[in-house]
Amino acid sequence: MLNLKKSYKIIETRVLIKENDTWSALTYIWNDEQTDAYLSLAGDYKQVGWTDEAGKKHSLKYAIPGILQCKSCHEFNLQIEPIGPSARHMNKTYTFNNETVNQLVYLQSRGKIRKLPAIDSIPSIADWSNHSYSLDERSRAYLDINCAHCHRKEGPAKNSGLYLTAEEQNQSVIGILKSPVAAGRGSGGLKYDIVPRDPDASIVIHRMRSSEPGVMMPELGRRTTHTEGIELVSEWIRTMEKL
């Protein structure tokens, strides 16, 4: 088993600070000695390597964003806001210290959450990696947590008209047979965001598969592809009914 205490190295720490009702985004890069981190306004690139759960080794040049890039994702109605943990994705039951308890209740008991409303009043979305949920629920949950912070009416990708929140029901709005607004070369010459029964003809999959700047989605925050997510969304598209 991999000993994380001996094998990991901190590359960066990203911080959101709220002062006078306004959020500011800052990025700190750790030194090689792992003793301190310095504020970076412009960002940087670091060569990193890791071993996955199967024991396979990987290596890539990791991109650390500058502070001006943070708003490209952390935006809600033109203001910077956190896009991290979401109550509806965390509203699930797990086992902590041999006790089965709702995750939000557990965090409240640990002093990490204040003013928690009744659990029954908080929406809950599928765990995309849990096969006990339907393929549709898992795929929509995956797109919600990974894409909808931008692809929603209040987000920085609002002008695309592609909204990927889990509660959206309009098939065209979630991309089914929807032509891109301004994808440019990001479309890969394809006609629609999602083509039922044909993931290879779907722009969404094309951009998830790509690692090329200006094509890949999300635009920032990754230098490799997420195989499990691509397979999940591809299977979802592959099993759709044709319109």
Residues 86-131: tens digit of each pLDDT:
899 999 999 988 899 999 999 999 999 999 999 999 999 999 999 9
Kindly give the parts of the chain with pLDDT less than 50: 1-2
Question: What are the DSSP calls for 152-207, one per residue?
Answer: STTSTTGGG-----TT---TTTTTBTPPPSS-GGGGTT-SBSB-TT-GGGBHHHHH
**What pLDDT, on the 0 to 100 scale, is given for residue 233?**
98
List the one residue out of 60, 8, 75 whose CA is nearest residue 218: 75
Residues 50-60: tens digit of each pLDDT:
888 888 898 98
